[in-house]
């Protein structure tokens, strides 16, 4: 079923991507659902959107997205160099003649069976069918390991024959793209940044344009960090250097995907390893020195990228505010919320009520004790404060501050965390106040007792 207004989807035309014939620059970030506890999916997606990204790149099986994020969907039989064979079932190697990632019959039969079960769960989530998936990636870096020139064409046809209608893309370096692309107008080529040096030079962008010819340029994997191996140091990439490289990509008019935006954790035995030259097992943490930490906390990279993206995003006119779409009741006199003729005569149970009137002359506004909860008063949209001091003086005598301090006085509170905590944010503030008698010097502390026990004797 096609949705109205979603006919063409994402297209690769000439030097730019188009989404329904409108220019669309992909600002993407990678997150892998299997490296993030399900309870945190929404939190990480909201943080991605708040950073200014418009596209999520993820692996097979992830369906949960934040409103406003498009999705690059990877069917990924092979993930990357550190996940070389994890997602291929081990029983494939029971065949002594097995040739992985080729058109070997034993392998294609397994792929067909996998697609027959996977695609019915995915096709309805495509953009043209009303979902968030705007593109699907055919394999990953296949050209760098290519063994079978017919393999990519087979995979492409396997997707198309199962009702995949969105743009098909692939990702590789220069040499890999020359060996691992598929001819056809529905496939565009994107390149990744090569090497752990992080240096994205003009020559790299030129190479990308040469490979893509008359197609959009996209850095499919800009490495925001790198994973760690047992026995080695924690890899850290400088935030300012990363920002400069990303800015260079955007100035060149290219799209970009940050790998990783959030790394997460290699749970269980799913850590993988590097196999080039020396075998290096990857640690359990997949922090990756990414834009968000392994725990999902913000980093300097996050705030620098958000500032950069915010300078590029076009601000659109906001939808009408809530007040303009609410039901209006006209009355000569104020009506309390319970007696408002709304909700089928049931009045208003909770929330706010906005009272408006036109005042033709000056004067004093009195509440006459009608306000039993809370009220905000605005004059010509500007907030008007109450005359508070006279009320305070009328309530009780106001004593002068004595010359000598009476005290000291210490005030302490304990924060009780119930149930299973998820992401908890503490805003510690120093509140200075005086009772009837106060001194000239106030001592305070803002240290939180996080799980510690204090014994008072």
Give every residue of the chain whose pLDDT is below 70, as ranges: 1-4, 60-87, 178-213, 320-326, 385-457
**Amino acid 63: pLDDT:** 40
Cis ω for the linkage preceding 417 (within 30 of 0)? no
| 332 catalytic residue (yes or no) | no
Residue 404's contacts (CB-CB under 8 Å, 6 or more residues apart) are 439
Q: What is d(CA 73, CA 132) in angstroms, rounded to the nearest whole number? A: 9
Catalytic residue among 141, 166, 193, 294: 141
Tokens 């087979």 appear where?
Answer: 154
Name the residue with tokens 């089928």: 344
141 is catalytic: yes
Angle of CA points 388, 389, 392, to nearest 5°: 90
What does each C-alpha distance from 70 to 27, 201, 423 come to in angstroms?
A: 10, 28, 25
Omega within 30 of 0 (cis) for the link into 150: no
Please state the pTM of the whole predicted model.
0.66
- Exposure string (b/e) for 225-263, b if CB count within 10 Å is 16 or more? bbbbbeeeeeeebebeebbebbebbbebebbbbbbbbbb
The predicted pLDDT at position 271 comes to 85
CA atoms of 432 and 443, how far apart (whole Å): 10
Residue 371 and residue 336: Cα distance in Å, rounded? Answer: 10
- Confidence (pLDDT) at 107: 95
CATH numeric code, 10-201+214-310: 3.20.20.80
**pLDDT on residue 453:** 45
Catalytic residue among 70, 139, 166, 221: 221
What are the residues whose beta carbons fall under 8 Å from the beta carbon of 53, sequence distance 6 or more?
27, 28, 29, 69, 258, 261, 309
CA 74 – CA 88 distance, rounded (Å): 15
* Axis crossing angle, helix 105-118 with helix 151-160, rounded to the nearest 10: 30
Res 455: pLDDT? 43
């Amino acid at each position: 079923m096609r949705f109205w207004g979603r006919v063409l989807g994402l297209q690769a035309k000439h030097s730019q991507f188009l989404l329904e014939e409108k220019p669309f620059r992909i600002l993407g970030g990678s997150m892998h659902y299997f490296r993030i506890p399900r309870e945190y999916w929404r939190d990480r997606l909201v943080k991605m959107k708040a950073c200014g990204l418009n596209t999520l790149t993820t692996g097979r099986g992830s369906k949960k997205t934040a409103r406003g994020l498009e999705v690059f969907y990877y069917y990924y039989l092979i993930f990357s160099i550190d996940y070389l064979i994890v997602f291929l079932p081990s029983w494939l190697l029971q065949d002594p003649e097995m040739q992985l990632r080729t058109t070997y019959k034993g392998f294609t039969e397994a792929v067909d069976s996998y697609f027959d079960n996977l695609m019915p769960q995915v096709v309805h989530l495509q953009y043209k069918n009303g979902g968030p998936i705007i593109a699907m990636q055919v394999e990953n870096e296949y050209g760098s390991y290519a063994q079978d020139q017919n393999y990519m064409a087979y995979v492409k046809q396997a997707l198309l024959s199962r009702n995949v209608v969105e743009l098909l893309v692939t990702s590789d370096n220069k040499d890999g793209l020359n060996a691992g692309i598929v001819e056809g107008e529905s496939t565009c080529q994107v390149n990744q940044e090569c090497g752990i040096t992080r240096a994205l030079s003009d020559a790299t962008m030129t190479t990308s344009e040469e490979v893509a010819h008359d197609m959009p340029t996209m850095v499919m994997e800009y490495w925001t960090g790198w994973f760690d191996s047992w026995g080695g140091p924690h890899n850290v990439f400088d935030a300012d250097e990363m920002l400069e490289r990303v800015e260079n990509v955007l100035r060149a008019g290219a799209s970009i995907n940050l790998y990783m935006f959030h790394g997460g954790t290699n749970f269980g035995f799913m850590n993988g390893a590097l196999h080039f030259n020396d075998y290096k097992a990857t640690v359990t943490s997949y922090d990756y020195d990414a834009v968000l930490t392994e725990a999902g906390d913000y980093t300097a990279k996050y705030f620098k990228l958000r500032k950069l993206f915010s300078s590029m995003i076009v601000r659109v006119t906001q939808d009408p505010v809530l007040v303009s779409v609410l039901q209006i009741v006209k009355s000569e006199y104020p009506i309390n919320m319970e007696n408002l003729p709304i909700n089928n005569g049931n009045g208003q149970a909770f929330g706010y009520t906005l009272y408006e009137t036109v005042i033709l002359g000056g004067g004093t506004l009195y509440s006459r004790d009608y306000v039993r909860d809370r009220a905000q008063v605005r004059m010509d949209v500007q907030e008007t404060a109450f005359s508070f001091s006279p009320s305070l003086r009328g309530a009780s005598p106001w004593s002068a501050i004595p010359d000598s301090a009476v005290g000291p006085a210490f005030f302490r509170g304990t924060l009780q965390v119930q149930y299973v905590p998820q992401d908890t944010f503490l805003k510690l503030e120093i509140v200075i106040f005086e009772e009837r008698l106060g001194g000239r010097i106030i001592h305070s502390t803002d240290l939180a007792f996080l799980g510690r026990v204090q014994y008072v004797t």
